[in-house]
Structure 1
Amino acid sequence: MKKAEKIILYTAAGGIIVFILRCIADAVLDRFRAPLPDYFGLAYMSPWGALVVICVLAQIGVLMSVLLRRRRNSGKKEISRGYTVSFICSFIPFVLLVAYSAYCMKAGFYFLWSVSYGWEAFEDAFMIMGLVFIIIPVFPFCVFWQVFYIVRRIKARKRLKAERS
């Protein structure tokens, strides 16, 4: 593992530890009036939550880079079939969101005190459920994996082309 990768990995781990300590400190200052997992949920909706998502993405990126480099150095293909399948599977949440929004066009989308049908229901369902998938970091992880895969695929093709010539 390169020195820069270790620095990113340890800095990201430090960010996650700071998030956990912040949540525990909030619980202690509040005298544990709610269960401890509730404090993690509240902190996740703050800038501390953005910090923990960025730290997790950084760790995943570094670990995947190390894993792919090891595969390349051992003589295996850098992008295997498993990575390609996971790339294709990363589109499933987007497809499910569109399918759910299309279903709401006919069945109606219930939100708060109103019901909407047709194109309005599609828009409402798409926007609100999309926001939920962003708050629960499904879409950020999927997009991160898609960008990471595409960049790695392009680099692998360039490297293979350079080796052939």
Structure 2
Amino acid sequence: MRSAFDFAPFRRSTVGFDRLFDMLENSGTGQAQENYPPFDLIRLGENDYRIELAVAGFQPNEIDITAQQNVLIVSGKKKEESDNKGSDYIYRGIATRSFERRFALADHIQVRGADLKDGLLAIELVREIPEAMKPRKISIGGEQPASQQTLEAQREAENA
């Protein structure tokens, strides 16, 4: 099933966004989205983010966080509780089912760390753009940027 929106005009006028358009076109297809566990996405700063997942009842050793290229996978598998074998639940409202939540990450997003406190799993993310990818001023006429001139001057001093 194709998306109701046609991305062809954007594909013609952009370079390197194929992955984004593919993701947008395929987002409505496939299996239904799972709503468990609920989560919040928080922007802390220009390059800092946090994902908070409500994982009440899970211990840190029952949760697995895997960062792959452009994908963050958070999964949880509740261990069998032997303590409550004799217990007879009248109502069980705290979900203890296994889950897997996937988050698509933009390029250069790194997982800084994770913490579990009061039933909330907080995953800290940061965008770390490599120096070579940051914008730089290009001069016309063959002049080198000042930083390049400084590097060459240092090399000449080392060779002398």
Structure with bigger helix share is 1
Is the TM-score greater than 0.5? no
TM (normalized to structure 2)?
0.27
TM (normalized to structure 1)?
0.26
Structure 1 or 2, whichever has the larger Rg, is 2
